[in-house]
């Protein structure tokens, strides 16, 4: 690992002060000019024209030796420093990818495979900044501030947000494909905001500055939903605009029908607010345990520890969620189930805090009884070579086929092959040092049905000639190849598909709304 200096928040610091910096530790790799590594290529356009100006971040003659340099103190000099812009974008992108890979214990793929290209100073506006599905390109525009054009790529949370979209798209492509609903697109936005905000908040210096801005306090037992404190601590892209940050955390009473809001950022913001309130609650309780004699730095350190723990809980939960048609309750179940496996004794109430805040926004609590979802699948038939489940998608399909109870629970259409099967092994280290090895297998089935067949088999009423439906599931096996967790979305399930499809009018409205934002689901939402 190597330590790299990045901007802790953005390029505009407090009045009369340089911007805050942070040290991120990232894996060492061979870097070419660009810079270009194994996972990313950073393109920086010259201020005038379209020519890309390659940058070298390594020591001359040694492509493995990355040289980290501090940023210029003045804003004008910082904006002219092409090398630091490349260093900052590369460092934030690599550290974001690294927290996913170390938390999940596996490499994260792209969709499609190859490198992700980050165009750090593109000819677009700030509101067009975003990840473009299917191209592996993230484009960063600029905003006019204080007489300068300020690249959005200099904001740590914006880079982390867009990189998270790319990571999620490689991990679960069906969460944002042509059949994804507005709920899945909102899930993308919520997860990207959570990763971005908590990545920034994991820096002790940032927390310390934000505590000072909030009035220097944050006393133990402070009211959890204090709007002023929430806005001071957890905004997104601080100082991007003269009027304030790009987005502020959701505070106040939960709006009626928030799960039907037509804009994914607005819908996801309610869930982001719930996670951030859980962080604030846990932070307050941690301060209370340490007593009232803490200084500002001790409180800041506690805040960064809590933020990092909750961030890893959320990321870990992704590997416990189904590969298709995910809901907010799937997210909650994934977070709780994954943390229960990793930290059986929840001595400090992290899981309870998450459950409480999700319940407050109308997402029903997850029962710990049969949270694994496998209690009804006793006596399963396993392959002779259990290790084959961790390497061969065909073995997973055979496993489902040879176990009628599992096949019935997934309600697969017997004549239609699975459209996607993925198998991944993972190794995670628990807080007490134990290594947890598991196998994750996901499958998706898409079925095209005629109008008559859709009505007879699923009760769907439509004027369309054909209807596409789908479902799938996630199966997790322990190191010995035994099923320990299942998250299923039954395919030929009348009730579920009826809720997903609704009516022609509902389906058309949902499709129009989601298709209108799908190609720019990555956008800023401003």
SS (H, E, C) 364-402: CCCCCCCCCCCCCCCCCCCCCCHHHHHCCHHHHHHHHHC
46 pLDDT band, cuts 50/70/90, is: confident
**What does the pLDDT look like over 7-27, one tens digit per residue?**
998 898 767 778 889 999 999
**265 has pLDDT over 90:** no
Interval 512-521 mean pLDDT = 59
Pairing of strands 137-139, 116-119: parallel
Interval 298-315 mean pLDDT = 91
Lowest mean pLDDT among 365-379, 384-398, 408-422: 384-398
**227 has pLDDT over 70:** no
Neighbour-count burial of 15, counting CB atoms closer than 10 A to its CB (0-12 exposed, 13-18 middle, 19+ buried) = exposed
Express as a percent the part of the chain with pLDDT over 90.
54
Q: Would you tell me the crossing angle of helices 156-171 and 182-201 to the nearest 10 degrees?
A: 130
Q: For residue 337, what are the contacts with CB-CB under 8 A and spacing of at least 6?
A: 317, 320, 366, 371, 372, 485
Considering only residues 170 and 261, tell me which one the structure prediction assigns the higher pLDDT. 170
Q: What is residue 222's predicted lDDT score, i.e. its pLDDT?
A: 47
Contact 185, 517 (CB under 8 A): yes
Gap between the Cα atoms of 132 and 124, Å rounded: 13
**244 has pLDDT over 50:** no
384 pLDDT band, cuts 50/70/90, is: low
Express as a percent the part of the chain with pLDDT over 70.
87
Q: What is residue 289's predicted lDDT score, i.e. its pLDDT?
A: 85
**357 has pLDDT over 60:** yes
Pick from 131, 138, 118, 156: nearest CA to 37: 118
* pTM of the complete model: 0.91
**307 has pLDDT over 60:** yes
CATH topology of domain 2-171: Elastase; domain 1 (3.10.170)
**220 has pLDDT over 50:** no
**What does the pLDDT look like over 82-109, one tens digit per residue?**
999 999 999 999 999 999 999 999 999 9
Q: For residue 117, what are the contacts with CB-CB under 8 A and spacing of at least 6?
A: 40, 41, 42, 43, 136, 137, 138
Pick from 262, 254, 227, 275: nearest CA to 361: 254
Question: Which residues partner with 422 through β-bridges?
Answer: 442
**245 has pLDDT over 70:** no
Provide the strand spans (E) within 133-192. 137-139, 142-145, 148-151
Q: What is residue 240's predicted lDDT score, i.e. its pLDDT?
A: 55
Interval 146-152 mean pLDDT = 88
Domain spans in the chain, listed from the N-terminal domain onward? 2-171, 198-360, 386-492
**154 has pLDDT over 90:** yes
Distance in angstroms between the alpha carbons of the first and the last residue of the chain: 36
Interval 251-258 mean pLDDT = 78
Pick from 84, 121, 95: nearest CA to 40: 95
Gap between the Cα atoms of 417 and 404, Å rounded: 16
Gap between the Cα atoms of 488 and 463, Å rounded: 29
**228 has pLDDT over 60:** no
Contact 445, 416 (CB under 8 A): yes
**287 has pLDDT over 90:** no
**512 has pLDDT over 90:** no
**488 has pLDDT over 90:** yes
**What does the pLDDT look like over 433-475, one tens digit per residue?**
777 888 999 999 999 999 999 999 999 999 999 999 999 999 9
DSSP character for 52?
Answer: B
Considering only residues 274 and 247, tell me which one the structure prediction assigns the higher pLDDT. 274
Considering only residues 233 and 344, tell me which one the structure prediction assigns the higher pLDDT. 344
**250 has pLDDT over 70:** no
Q: What is residue 223's predicted lDDT score, i.e. its pLDDT?
A: 40
519 pLDDT band, cuts 50/70/90, is: low
Mean pLDDT (the chain) is 86
């Amino acid at each position: 690992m190597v330590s790299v200096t990045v901007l802790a928040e953005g390029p505009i610091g407090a009045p009369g002060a340089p911007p805050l910096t942070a040290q991120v530790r990232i894996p060492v790799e061979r870097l070419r000019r660009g810079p270009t590594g194994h996972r990313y290529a950073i393109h920086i356009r010259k201020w005038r024209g379209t020519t890309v100006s390659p940058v070298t971040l390594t020591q001359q003659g040694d492509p493995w030796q990355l040289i980290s340099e501090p940023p210029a103190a003045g804003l004008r000099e910082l904006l002219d420093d092409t090398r630091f812009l490349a260093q900052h974008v590369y460092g934030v992108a690599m550290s974001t990818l690294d927290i996913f890979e170390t938390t999940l214990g596996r490499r994260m793929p792209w969709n499609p495979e190859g490198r992700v290209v980050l165009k750090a100073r593109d000819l677009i506006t700030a509101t067009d900044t975003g990840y473009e599905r299917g191209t592996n390109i993230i484009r960063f525009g600029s905003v006019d501030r204080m007489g300068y054009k300020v690249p959005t790529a200099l904001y740590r949370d914006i880079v982390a947000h867009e990189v998270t979209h790319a990571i999620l798209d490689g991990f679960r492509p069906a969460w944002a494909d042509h059949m994804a609903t507005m709920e899945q697109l909102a899930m993308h936005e919520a997860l990207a905001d959570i990763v971005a905000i908590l990545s920034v908040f994991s820096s002790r210096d940032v927390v310390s500055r934000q505590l000072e801005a909030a009035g220097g306090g944050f006393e133990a037992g402070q009211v959890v939903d204090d709007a002023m404190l929430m806005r001071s601590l957890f905004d997104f892209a601080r100082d991007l605009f003269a009027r304030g940050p790009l987005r502020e955390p959701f505070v106040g009473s939960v709006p009626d029908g928030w799960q039907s809001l037509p804009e994914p950022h607005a819908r996801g913001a309610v869930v982001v607010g719930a996670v951030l309130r859980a962080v604030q609650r846990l932070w307050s309780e941690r301060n209370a345990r340490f007593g009232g004699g803490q200084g500002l730095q001790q409180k800041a350190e506690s805040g960064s520890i809590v933020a990092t723990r909750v961030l890893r809980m959320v990321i870990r939960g992704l590997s416990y969620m189904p590969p298709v048609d995910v809901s907010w309750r799937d997210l909650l179940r994934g977070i709780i189930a994954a943390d229960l496996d990793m930290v059986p004794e929840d001595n400090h109430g992290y899981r309870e805090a998450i459950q409480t805040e999700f319940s407050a926004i109308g997402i029903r609590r997850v029962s710990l009884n049969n949270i694994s979802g496998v209690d009804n699948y006793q006596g399963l038939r396993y392959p002779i070579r259990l290790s084959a489940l961790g390497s061969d998608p065909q073995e997973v399909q055979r496993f489902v086929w040879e176990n009628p109870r599992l096949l019935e629970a997934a309600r697969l259409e017997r004549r239609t092959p699975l459209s996607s099967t993925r198998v991944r092994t993972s190794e995670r280290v628990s807080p007490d040092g134990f290594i947890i090895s598991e196998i994750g297998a996901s499958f998706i089935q898409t079925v095209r049905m005629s109008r008559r067949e859709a009505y007879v088999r699923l009760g769907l009423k439509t004027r369309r000639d054909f209807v596409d439906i789908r479902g799938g599931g996630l199966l997790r096996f322990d190191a010995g190849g035994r099923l320990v967790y299942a998250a299923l979305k039954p395919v030929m399930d009348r009730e579920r598909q009826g809720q997903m499809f609704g009516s022609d009018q509902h389906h058309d409205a949902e499709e129009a709304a989601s298709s209108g934002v799908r190609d720019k689901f990555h956008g800023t939402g401003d």
